Amino acid sequence: MTDAPKPVTVHDLLKMKQAGERIVVLTCYDALFARLLDASGVDILLVGDSVNQVLAGAETTLSATLEQMIYHTKIVRRGAQMIYHTKIVRRGAERALVVCDMPFLTYQVSPAEAIRNCGRVMAETGCQGVKLEGGRPIADTVRALVDVGIPVMGHLGLTPQSVHALGGYRVQGRDEQTAERLKGDAQGLEEAGAFAVVLELIPAPLASQISKALTIPTIGVGAGPACDGQVLVLHDMLGLNDRFNAKFVKRYAALAQEVREAVALYAAEVREGRYPGPEHSFAK
């Protein structure tokens, strides 16, 4: 009997950065994939508000809500169906650190409301951290959360909850003024106590400068190779979402095509009477 894997903690992530070990992050929305990713050595499972885009077909992440996440988690607990949020992911993961995205307007109103909502997520889901979008404007909120024992991951650059204010999904920090602001935002998040910062869609040289300046890990997505770790949306990386084509995404499989072929074969066998066969049937 092998020993259970040692769970990854926020302190381990800091040690990994100090040792030059790259941190592997993927989004995850259900227990089945949580077990598969955990067994494959993924360090962080990010339960993203991207679930509404990936699984529900929404245009943005803005429609994801705290109540929706809790509702889905309760459905999972009742065993009604496999659904896609933090508690079921926590059940599926033994080693990986599970971080939950806080939805739009669950932390921006006030530090007190952020504590209440983030605390509720931590208590009801069993996750080990929350992720908030924004820089210095939310530093006081991050500090308040950390002060009550809630680990916080930051998120800078292209922040999807601000997609309309940013003018769409485009690279951030290309001009000197924005680049300097992002550097200051990253430093502000570290000073506020964040344990890591996601850098999304920023130029690689800027991401490198920020990564070198911070003592906490940076997790890149479309931010070049110098970040301390990398994250991708699982369904993009597996080629399940084959309609999404972005420069920063590398497809490690082509599962959408495999699914289509498998379903087409199943349909043909059912229609032709070849499935189920004797080996799939019970005599008594």
Predicted pLDDT of residue 87: 59
Among residues 21, 113, 176, 200, the one annotated as catalytic is 200
SS3 258: helix
Count of alpha carbons within 13 angstroms of residue 142, beta-carbon side:
26
* pLDDT digit string (tens) for the chain, length 284 residues: 456 678 899 999 999 999 999 999 999 888 778 888 888 999 998 888 888 888 677 888 888 878 766 644 433 323 222 334 465 566 666 788 889 899 999 999 999 999 999 999 888 888 889 999 999 999 999 999 999 999 999 999 999 999 889 989 999 999 999 999 999 999 999 999 999 999 999 999 999 999 999 999 999 999 999 999 999 999 999 999 988 889 999 999 999 999 999 999 999 999 999 999 999 999 88
Q: Element (H or E) spanning 218, and its range?
A: strand 218-221
Cβ atoms of 129 and 100 within 8 Å: the answer is yes
| Known active-site residue 200 | yes
Q: Element (H or E) spanning 157, and its range?
A: strand 152-157
**Can you tell me the distance from the alpha carbon of 222 to that of 156, in angstroms, rounded to the nearest whole number?**
12
Of 18, 55, 27, give the one whose Cα is nearest residue 214.
Answer: 18
Question: What's the pTM value of the predicted model, to 2 decimals?
Answer: 0.91
